[in-house]
Amino acid sequence: MSELTTEKRDDLRDSSFAYIDRTGERHLPINDASHIRNAISRFDQTDFQSKTAKHDAATKIIAAAKRHDVDVSDDSDVARAARS
């Protein structure tokens, strides 16, 4: 995975993250294929503040995966959350 230093992470737009919590903390970067794969694998480890936030994050990850040709298994946590 490409390294995302604190400086590079801070320079990313909010749209490069699947989830931004109520305090403004950004979670699950989806700026490139390796980070999308990481977001998929860590999705179930993230504490979302609502079901809607979880669904929205899953939808963003799925869309980013399509843009970067990353496969998402239909039985993954992300795919299930996007369908709910």
> How many percent of the chain have pLDDT more than 90?
87
- In the prediction, which pLDDT does 36 show? 97
Q: Looking at the chain, how many residues does it have?
A: 84
Query: C-alpha dihedral over 18, 9, 21, 33, to 10 degrees?
Result: 10
The whole-angstrom separation of Cα 24 and Cα 44 is 20
The whole-angstrom separation of Cα 22 and Cα 78 is 21
pLDDT of residue 1 exceeding 60, the answer is: no
- In the prediction, which pLDDT does 84 show? 87
pLDDT (tens digit per residue) in 61-74:
999 999 999 999 99
- In the prediction, which pLDDT does 3 show? 77
- Tell me which of 8 and 54 has the higher pLDDT: 54
